Copies of this chain bind each other. A is one copy, B any other.
């Protein structure tokens, strides 16, 4: 038994002869190692837990794709769960993940609450947070240059001459959303445009909520000249709403999004592209390093993002 184990783990101290004999017997008997037993004795599962806000959304799916690729490359399993649920359910799901003894966790939910995070911390395993650190100093993070991306997007709109801007933000507590707001403020300052020229409504990164807020805003204040939504889902929903109500995009209202989904490409939406797959890969990379060496310091990776200009932002406002 011990020798078989050594052969399976490619340990050096086995004679060529027995090694071959073992391989032959394994083939003959159709033997498959039992990873559960291995996990128990090694107290290591080679499995990472991934907590997403939701699955069926372009952004999360793309990041997950990167995570999956890198897991495969490193021989890791992935256990996934979704966090867009009621608080008790979410805590329960996290506990389940903890009981499964994952070796590390990736959280991808910029709206994640503190309680859930602290539950995840209680696993005592390395944690990597994507897009939001939730104030967890000891967690590693992978994010994108949110401030800069938003700055570029708003600068783009401002330099085309648009004023009367409308920003559609994420949830107030989301770190990436706050950073994007900062980027917008920087652009406004640079163009010496007062912040009154840029109204803001909260869209919670949800196309439905963004749409509801937008309709309300529109009823009260009329149409803005340009809209910058902090993700593509919201931008696309608003763009569809505008066109559906006979408003020309970009002729009457210019629209810019954030993320770089395929759907944005299809729809000709100007956006800020985040390297989603790369984020997923990097997250697995730094997680695996901390799993191998738990004393390693938390790493913080910030990936660049890029403004992609398409039709929805138009060629600029004709100055009077």
Contact = CB atoms under 8 A, between A and B. Distances in A.
A47 B69 CA distance: 21
Given A64-B55, A65-B56, A236 B266 contact: yes
Contacts of A54: 65
What's the dominant secondary structure at chain A's contact region? Answer: helix
Given A64-B56, A65-B55, A35 B100 contact: yes
B68 A82 contact: yes
Contacts of A35: 96, 99-101
Contacts of A37: 40
Interface in A35-93: 35-37, 39-40, 45, 47, 54-58, 61-62, 64-65, 68-69, 72, 75, 77-82, 85, 89, 93
Nearest to A42: B36
Give the oligomeric copy count: 2
A58 B58 CA distance: 7
Interface residues of A, number: 47
B45 A36 contact: yes
A78 B68 CA distance: 13
A33 interface: yes
A15 to B, nearest CB: 26
Find the residue from A34, A54, A69, A85 having the highest chain B CB count within 10 A.
A34
B33 A99 contact: yes
A32 interface: yes
Interface of A: 30, 32-37, 39-40, 45, 47, 54-58, 61-62, 64-65, 68-69, 72, 75, 77-82, 85, 89, 93, 95-96, 98-101, 122, 236, 240, 262-263, 266-267, 277
